[in-house]
Structure 1
């Protein structure tokens, strides 16, 4: 072992300590009081209460009597309600955790929110990869995206693999939890449609005939939620049928 290597190994603990202190210092700079998350939590609580009062008037029979366009709109509202419930739980968890474990300091880079304002999505890719909840992200990436990316040269296969895996998982969830209301393939179809939409976006993004700056953000927003509007009934049907 050379003298340089000996010195390097001897000084390694001090470098690690310095890096840890630097990281802690940077974290400290971006930290806020745990109570800073409560105002947004209160807003979501109010929305949650309002939607709960609204949705309790919809019986299963009434919901399935709605015209198709109203049923799809109801589906989007239910999707938003699902997000709101998860937002409230997530924010309360962050509040109490940072209060008890971090001395009342909250750093958004260390305590991630489940959602990233999905209503601002300007594409399906943006919606599913960055803005909708990322609970299973690491699982999908590890089990589907990375293995397929190493085997396939095109970028469509890995994305398709993630949606296939997600579709299978949701089919299993409905089969086990809501079996009487399970329609085989319904959940899988929903995620395959999302995959088709994402792949279409990638194809259009690659096309030289359509400049990237041609599709404005507002058009992207209408495309995203228009697509979800027409496809979300496939996802929500078993949940609505199983509504108490």
Structure 2
């Protein structure tokens, strides 16, 4: 008897995540993902990869659009974003690997497509703490490749910037303790910022119903001052939650899996210190999806329009990626709300290079960079707010000990703006 083909049938409604649905909907694309990772390490396997990719893409799309991670609670709808695009990181064995916590289906489809068109096998290289070439082990190499988004320790990550370590690496225990303190700090900061942002408008963008961050009852200068404060706080909130998630897994990897601190490089490099847009996006912000954006957007447009097309295409791919994230919460989200701000980030990088070359820096460069980021960050965050992303619930909200004072301060400030 032939096996059932129901697994390939696209869904029309979302169902709750259970053990059964996890086995039938999540595991199949993940299995295809790891099989493709194994095949791309071997020569003369491209025909098999070509045949496997459409199945992988259909299964990934099916999982991303059929499962409801919110357990029926609207305030937890943002968990569906994790299923589609977000990931945290765990390191196993001797080199950095990144284990997808919520099984990012968009990443699975995109990465397996890149591996499908790859003609030569990928090769591992020595990490920073070793000068010896890594020993070949197909099983461990497959796990590493499948979970390593940045490409640390692989020949395909050329041009990747790895931030310098700022924590003590004298011993694993000292390093883990320092990272844990930083993790707790970022968790607290994330909870505090989330409470503050929601307090600006609990009935609109502070709720799951969503709403704009632009208050039409205020004059233009105060309206954009208020929205810029909200956008800036959201940026620090995103930075804090990503840092906390990454640092938590670093602690586990160093203590449980006996990783060397050099195998857990930082993801961020003080983004607020950037003195050019190019420095911000290519060095100081995280590079987790760099390879995907370049492959899907940068390379195709660079073939048509050269370097400028490569830059714009990379940012447009990022915008589309973030639009898919919003669809997990609000299927009616408009694509331009993500494509426009990310496209303008690429435009800013192009204009910056044309005007100043590689000489952008100093306080003028910092003012230029932050002004451009805040300007288009307003549009970006407004798109998130309208989709109801800022109204999501988190365990950090109730755990933040200064939540009530923060809410009082924000409401007092907001009332002051409306009385000016």
What residue in structure 1 maps to residue 313 of structure 2? Answer: 161
Change (3 A) 1:173 1:53: closer
Greater helix percent: which structure?
1
Distance 1:47 1:229 in 2: 22
Partner of 1:46: 185
Output the CA distance in 1 between the equivalents of 2:365 and 2:341: 20
Q: How does 1:140-159 map to 2 (within 5 A)?
A: 140-149=293-302, 151=303, 154-159=306-311
Paired with 2:364 and 2:183, the residues of 1 have a C-alpha distance of 27
Q: Which consecutive unaligned segments of at least 5 residues does structure 1 have?
A: 1-18, 25-29, 207-211
Which of the residues 172, 197, 204 maps onto 1:34?
172
Alignment match, 2:56:
none
Bigger RCO of structures 1 and 2 (CA < 8 A, at least 6 apart) = 1
Tell me what 1:195 maps to.
346
C-alpha spacing 1:148/1:217, structure 2 compared with 1 (3 Å): same
CA 1:94/1:43 → structure 2, altered by over 3 Å: closer, same or farther?
closer
Q: Which residue of 1 aligns with 2:370?
A: 225
Aligned partners of 1:231, 1:22: CA distance in 2, in Å?
Answer: 43
Using the alignment, how far apart are the partners of 1:153 and 1:50 within structure 2? 42
> Is the 2:189–2:237 contact (alpha carbons within 8 Å) kept by the matching residues of 1?
no
Alpha-carbon distance in structure 1 between the residues aligned to 2:193 and 2:318: 30
Find the counterpart in structure 1 of residue 137 from structure 2.
none
In structure 1, the residue matched to 2:132 is 23
Cα 1:176–1:217 shift into 2, 3 Å: same
**Counterparts of 2:361 and 2:223, CA distance in 1:** 31
Give the Cα separation in 2 of the matches to 1:220 and 1:188: 25
Measured on the aligned residues, the alpha-carbon RMSD in Å equals 3.1
State the match for 2:328 in structure 1. Answer: 176
**What's the CA shift string for 1:185-243, capped at 9, x where partnerless?**
1111111111111110111134xxxxx65x54211111111111111121112433411
Change (3 A) 1:86 1:54: closer
Residue 69 of structure 2: aligned partner: none
Query: What is the alpha-carbon distance in structure 1 between the residues aligned to residue 181 and residue 279 of structure 2?
Result: 27
Of 256, 261, 264, 1:106 maps to 261
| Number of the residue aligned with 1:56 | 195
Matched, 1:74 2:183: no
Question: Residue 9 of structure 1 corresponds to which residue in structure 2?
Answer: none
In structure 2, what is the Cα distance between the partners aligned to 1:174 and 1:105? 37
In structure 2, the partner of 1:234 is: 379
Task: Please say if residues 320 and 339 of structure 2, whose CA atoms lie closer than 8 Å, have aligned partners that are also in contact.
Answer: yes
Give the unaligned 5+ runs of structure 2. 1-125, 134-167, 205-212, 216-221, 393-420
> Normalising to structure 2: TM-score of the pair?
0.45
Which stretches of structure 1, 4 residues or more, deviate above 6 A after TM superposition? none
Residues matched between the structures, number: 212
Distance (whole Å) between structure 2 residues aligned to residue 153 and residue 178 of structure 1: 34
Distance 1:184 1:41, change over 3 A: same
What is the CA deviation profile of residues 73-125 of structure 1, one whole-angstrom value per residue up to 9, with x for unaligned ones? Answer: 22111111110111011011111112222x36311xx3222212211111111
Contact 1:48 1:85 survives alignment (8 Å): yes
Give the TM-score normalised by structure 1: 0.74
- Mapped to 1, the partners of 2:177 and 2:236 lie a distance apart of 20
Contact 2:172 2:261 in 1 (8 A): yes
- How far has the Cα of 1:141 moved from its partner? 2.3
